[in-house]
Amino acid sequence: MSVLLGLGKFLMSTNSTRFTPTCSNNPARLHPLRFPGTNKCTNTGSPPSPKIPIFELVKRPFVTIPLFTNILSLDMKALVLTQKDAPLHYGDVPMPEAAEGEVLVQLHAAALNRRDWWITQGQYPGIVYPIILGSDGAGVADGREVIINPAFNWGDHPAFPSKSFQILGLPHPGTFAEWVSVPARQLYDKPAHLSMEQAAALPLAGLTAYRAVFTKGQLRAGDRVLVTGAGGGVALLAFQLAVAAGAQVWVTSGSDANIERTREMGGQGGANYREAEWSKQLQQQAGGFDLIIDSAAGDGFALLPKICNPGARIVTYGGTLGAVSGLSLQPVFWKQLSILGTTMGNDQEFSEMVQFVTQHRIVPVVDSVFPLSAGQAAFERIGKGGQFGKVVCSQLAG
């Protein structure tokens, strides 16, 4: 009986014009979303709602009873950015449809990145409204537990991405939703030792950190490494990768507690960048560094070449504090230093990163988990700073 009811509702819904695809690299197909005021924001925990023909549900062996009941609704819950500086709106949006070559992923968890926060502040190129943000996700696709590589269309050159390179979550609708449709080639098996929340914390930060530490940083076992801003999502993964690879790793942080926590995770210690003499303290502790991984930039960057060993590499992947002033190039050329920029990574690096994390049983640090319905609070956590590791939203919690 419920099957017939579901079928009737489904057939009626397919006549509606409300549901059009929301996932595509083609901007013309983006976001026919309904927004604040047109839908009540409810958090009923109602199950997501795949637009799958009923006969397909019946014949697919992995389909479970809860999924079967989802046919009663063709909307899903998502967190949507409607304009700059506006609180994120949690509510109903149309289900995505899988374009050719795409697969629908039922998301269990999605992690925040500083990128998402920059976008909410209007500080990112190419922002479109409304947009479902979110580059990091873990979930289930066709019965397989997966994580999503958020680096789309890297292209053929390993050294730099193609012109069509994109990061999931702008303009392609992202992972702060119950479902996302992504190209099938972006899916990788979720490392079995990770929970969904831990796995969601891995993709963007893990990829960026892997390329920074190994491809660009050319880390060797025994190297003395400095990772700045240890509480950051990418920084902490860079720290974990370097420790697992046999390096001696120091950190900076604005929190003594963060430094202590990295010591418990195999680190050598570090210095608080809020103290005037932080770079001297580091030099006393380590002697000098063979590799520095930095995303802070700002004035502190000018001190980094001075605490490098000859032949060292400084890898930069971010500019949290803005422009660098007072940088003297004397130590750069006298010590034969390399300053290298990096962003995200290519498909092979993503694959190697997942393999490395699996082999060394690395567990990304999750600072906190918020129900997706409380996504605004998750963004406020990032905005306030002081986190240790990744802030994650759970589609299954609350």
Ligand X SMILES: NC(=O)c1ccc[n+]([C@@H]2O[C@H](COP(=O)([O-])OP(=O)(O)OC[C@H]3O[C@@H](n4cnc5c(N)ncnc54)[C@H](OP(=O)(O)O)[C@@H]3O)[C@@H](O)[C@H]2O)c1
Decide: is 166 part of the binding site for ligand X (CB under 6 A).
Answer: no
Cβ-contact 197, 391 below 8 angstroms? no
Among 115, 172, 224, 313, binds ligand X (CB under 6 A): 115
Decide: is 395 part of the binding site for ligand X (CB under 6 A).
Answer: no
Torsion region of 306: left, alpha or beta (phi above 0 gives left; psi -120 to 50 gives alpha): alpha
Q: Name, in order, each residue with C-beta under 8 angstroms of 177's C-beta and a sequence gap of 6 or more.
A: 76, 77, 78, 79, 93, 96, 107, 110, 132, 134, 372, 395
The rounded distance, in Å, linking the Cα atoms of 337 and 186 is: 35
Please, what is the minimum distance in Å from the beta carbon of residue 62 to ligand X? Answer: 34
Report which of 110, 100, 134, 92 is spatially closest to residue 29, judged by C-alpha positions.
100
Please, what is the minimum distance in Å from the beta carbon of residue 5 to ligand X? Answer: 46
Decide: is 214 part of the binding site for ligand X (CB under 6 A).
Answer: no
Decide: is 368 part of the binding site for ligand X (CB under 6 A).
Answer: no
Cβ-contact 108, 140 below 8 angstroms? yes
> CB-wise, 296 or 374, nearer to ligand X?
296
> CB-wise, 73 or 262, nearer to ligand X?
262
Report which of 376, 355, 367, 374 is spatially closest to residue 200, judged by C-alpha positions.
367
The rounded distance, in Å, linking the Cα atoms of 217 and 22 is: 39
- From the list 68-76, 87-95, 248-256, 346-354, the region that binds ligand X by CB under 6 A is 248-256
> CB-wise, 22 or 253, nearer to ligand X?
253
Among 173, 233, 267, 375, binds ligand X (CB under 6 A): 233
Tell me which residue has its CB nearest to ligand X.
Answer: 318
> CB-wise, 255 or 368, nearer to ligand X?
255
Which 332-351 residues touch ligand X, going by CB under 6 A?
Answer: 343-344
The rounded distance, in Å, linking the Cα atoms of 200 and 135 is: 9
Instruction: Say how many CA atoms lie within 13 Å of 390 toward its Cβ.
Output: 32
- From the list 19-27, 103-111, 327-335, 379-387, the region that binds ligand X by CB under 6 A is 379-387
Which 264-293 residues touch ligand X, going by CB under 6 A?
Answer: 273
Among 232, 267, 270, 331, binds ligand X (CB under 6 A): 232
Q: How many CB atoms lie within 10 A of CB 341?
A: 11
Binding residue count for ligand X, defined by CB under 6 A: 31
Among 74, 196, 199, 234, binds ligand X (CB under 6 A): 234
Cβ-contact 36, 81 below 8 angstroms? no
> CB-wise, 67 or 225, nearer to ligand X?
225
SS3 category, 184: helix
What is the DSSP code (8-state) at residue 231?
Answer: T
Decide: is 113 part of the binding site for ligand X (CB under 6 A).
Answer: yes
- From the list 13-21, 95-103, 153-161, 311-319, the region that binds ligand X by CB under 6 A is 311-319
Interface residues toward ligand X, by CB under 6 A: 113-115, 208, 228-235, 252-255, 258, 273, 295-296, 300, 317-321, 343-344, 382, 385-386
